[in-house]
Amino acid sequence: MASRSKKPEAVSGRSELASAIYDCRRALVGIVIFSGIMNILTLTGPLFMLQVYDRVVPSQSIPTLLALGAIVALLYAALGFFDQIRARILVRIGAYLDEVVHPKVFKAVVTMPLRNALPGDGLQPLRDLDQIRTFVSSGGPAAFADMPFLPIQVTICFLIDPLIGYAVIVGAVVIFCLTLATDMSVRAASLEAADKGGQRFAVIEAGRRNAEVLRSLGMAGRLADRWGEVNRSYEASHLRVLERSGAFAGASKVFRMMFQSGLLGLGAYLVIEHGASFGIIIAASILGARALQPIEQLVANWRGFVGSRQAWHRLNRLLAQFPTTEEPMALPRPTGTLAVENLAVVPPGSSRPSVVDVSFNLRAGNALGVIGPSGAGKSSLVRVIIGAWAPARGRVRLDGAALEQWHPDILGQHIGYLPQDVELFAGTIAENISRFEPDADPALIVEAAKAAGVHDLVLHLPDGYTTDIGENGSSLSAGQRQRVALARALYRDPFLVVLDEPNSNLDAEGDAALSRAIMSVRKRGGIAVVVAHRPSALEAVDMALAMVNGGMAAFGEKEEVLRKVLKPSAPPSIQDRQPEPEGAPS
């Protein structure tokens, strides 16, 4: 099996999943070899029974029985050994597949919302990978590995008697046809059930995230009704799958029982009509059942195979949107300019642009205030500036280099971002401020906290910087979360700091700390972009951009832009005034 440190390369048109499986080709060949040995060893039982009835019983030889028993015990021990080895190899292949593919799947899951909306709850790709790994680690692949050796079993049946061989072939064809019929019957229902299952998780996860809103606004019952509607649709699809697969499974079970009895009857017929030994009766039954075992194992694992096949196709379609690309060349730390060139933005999942033809340039030491009414495109603009969204047209450049020329992880080191909806992660305050950087320097964490004016606040918490804030910072107030997120944005003095509504939850002290933070970015030669509705957030900026309906209304020095935007309209002149008609209401 391939080394765990090696990453699969999608070559010759192979997908990441296929490349990971291809890396394990030697282990897969080993599984086939072990399966061949095991299929030969499984003949131990019927051959032993044949020898007992044809040799031991007629001769009444106890030494012969003991010798045969010892040989059979050794052969069964070897069978168990190879079975354990094969099972362990399959588990290791499943673990390797998960290890080399899950980073790409995780990246796709967290990146897709920035491109377009994921159906369901967005976690289906992770469940798909789990399903594939579970199937690979189970007995499913072993059943497929046994199939090439089915002719050997059938040949042995023919050697015992052609009638037994023909009977086994008929039984194998019937069971295989039942399996195909099951697949064709439940395929559409299985896809529908998977889609509805994702919708169930999406609704209940939305309810979990917004528990306060549901309780306070009395919406819990309505959301429960909505979830119940989706759940009933899922249950209907799932019920169709179970009913149809259950019907075919029942038919297969009845047929196998009839086939087993039929083989016993056939053996008795051979004894009566053709003078075969009594051992043929037992041997025919055991060999026939053993010959059909690979197909029966295939039937038993068919549902897992179908689910894994569907998961495989879904994952391949998803990962194809994230082709492996060469690492961009490392660029020096930006220190000079931010340029926005003819920018047009279409939000993910939408077809209408929210920003059109926005262009401006900022130099080190500038701080830009972006103002405008709600829906003007301010947040869409800054999401493209930080590289979260891809522009529909135009470029964003740092020191002349377009954002696409940076590796996202490296670019993130030069950008500080405070979103409008603050999101913190489960962990300590220190971990959140340091962006979960391994072995983060405590001095840098404290420096960022002081720059955000949150150092004293943190010290007054029960465990200081090691205080666990819970999921999404639930143990902090909204203002505290916003100031911790501001410290995270300022960690390691990034060149570009983008703040979207940074004072929406701040008090007067927080506003003052925000202004000092923006001024500190300017003094150290960085660039700050601040989206604001409240004038207090614009005290430390020197430039302003006014947006209306996704376009630029004005750009330039702050005072000049504010005069243009906030200039009161002139009262109408006397000549412009029209006399009111008689009878008009006063």
Report which secondary-structure segment, H or E, holds 543. strand 543-548
Q: CA torsion, points 118, 120, 122, 124, in degrees to nearest 10?
A: -120
Neighbours of 382 (CB within 10 A): 24
Closest CA to 497 of 414, 574, 433: 414
Q: CA–CA separation, 389 vs 383, rounded Å? A: 6
Cβ neighbours of 70 (radius 10 Å): 10
Q: Which helix (H) or strand (E) holds 556?
A: strand 551-557
Backbone torsion region of residue 525, taken as left when φ is above 0, otherwise alpha when ψ lies between -120 and 50, otherwise beta = left
Alpha-carbon distance 339 to 398, whole Å? 7
Task: Give me the residue spans of the domains in the chain.
Answer: 16-319, 337-566
Q: What phi and psi, each to the nearest 5 degrees, are found at residue 97?
A: -60, -45
Q: Which pairs count as long-range contacts for 452-456, CB under 8 Å and 24+ apart, including other chains?
A: 452/483, 452/484, 452/486, 452/487, 452/489, 452/490, 452/513, 452/517, 453/483, 453/509, 453/510, 453/512, 453/513, 453/514, 453/516, 453/517, 454/480, 454/483, 454/484, 454/486, 454/487, 454/513
Rounded Cα gap, residues 107 and 126, in angstroms: 11
Residues 120/202, Cβ–Cβ less than 8 Å: yes
In the chain, DSSP finds a helix count (H) and a strand count (E) of: 21, 10
Residue 118 pLDDT:
54
**Number of other CB atoms surrounding residue 434 within 10 Å:** 23
Query: E strands, 78-135, where?
Result: none
SS3 assignment, position 363: strand
Instruction: Give the max Cα distance, the chain.
Output: 133
Neighbours of 464 (CB within 10 A): 13
pLDDT computed for residue 294 by the predictor: 77
SS (H, E, C) 289-327: HHHHHHHHHHHHCHHHHHHHHHHHHHHHHHHCCCCCCCC
Assigned CATH for 16-319:
1.20.1560.10
* Per-residue tens of pLDDT for the chain, all 586 residues: 444 444 444 444 578 888 899 999 999 999 999 998 998 888 888 778 778 877 888 888 898 889 989 999 999 999 999 999 999 999 999 999 999 998 889 888 888 878 775 555 677 888 889 999 999 988 788 888 888 888 887 888 888 788 888 888 888 888 888 878 877 877 777 778 877 877 787 787 777 777 766 776 777 787 788 888 888 888 888 788 777 777 777 777 788 788 878 887 887 888 787 777 766 777 777 777 777 777 777 777 777 888 888 889 989 988 888 887 778 888 999 999 999 999 999 998 888 999 999 999 999 999 999 999 989 999 999 999 999 999 999 999 999 999 999 988 899 999 999 998 888 988 999 999 999 999 999 999 999 999 999 999 999 998 999 999 987 787 888 888 999 999 999 999 999 999 999 987 777 888 888 999 999 999 999 999 999 877 778 899 999 999 999 999 999 999 999 888 876 544 443 334 344 444 444 3
Rounded Cα distance between 211 and 201, Å, is 15
Judge whether 18 and 63 are in contact, CB under 8 Å. no
With a CB cutoff of 8 Å and minimum separation 6, the contacts of 73 are none
Phi then psi for residue 32, to 5 deg, are -65, -40
The closest of 417, 414, 440 to 429, measured between CA atoms, is 440
What is the rounded CA–CA span in Å between residue 68 and residue 52?
Answer: 9
H or E segment to which residue 544 belongs: strand 543-548
Q: Which residues of 398-411 are buried (b: 16+ CB within 10 A; e: fewer)?
A: bbebebeebeeeeb
On whether the CB atoms of residues 528 and 368 are closer than 8 A, the answer is: yes
The answer to whether 307 and 128 have CB atoms below 8 angstroms apart is: no
Reference 457, options 427, 477, 435, 431; nearest CA is 477
Residue 529 C-alpha from the chain's centroid = 33
d(CA 148, CA 32): 9
**Phi, psi at 157, each rounded to 5°:** -60, -40
Give the whole-angstrom CA distance, residue 336 versus residue 405. Answer: 17
Residues 396 and 385: beta-carbon distance below 8 Å:
yes
As a whole number of Å, the CA-based R_g of the chain is 35
Residues near 337 by beta carbon (within 8 Å), at least 6 away in sequence: 361, 362, 363, 364, 397, 398, 399, 400
Residue with tokens 């009913």: 243
Angle at 54 between CA 270 and CA 294, to 5 degrees: 65
Identity of the amino acid at 115: R
Q: How many CB atoms lie within 10 A of CB 180?
A: 11
Q: 368 near 530, Cβ under 8 Å?
A: yes
Long-range contacts of 412-416 (CB under 8 A, 24+ apart): 413/492, 413/494, 414/333, 414/334, 414/494, 414/495, 414/496, 415/386, 415/387, 415/494, 415/495, 415/496, 415/497, 415/498, 416/488, 416/489, 416/490, 416/491, 416/494, 416/496, 416/497, 416/498
Say how far apart CA 131 and CA 391 lie, in whole Å. Answer: 35
Class of domain 337-566: alpha beta
For strand 543-548 and strand 401-402, is the pairing parallel, antiparallel, or unpaired? unpaired
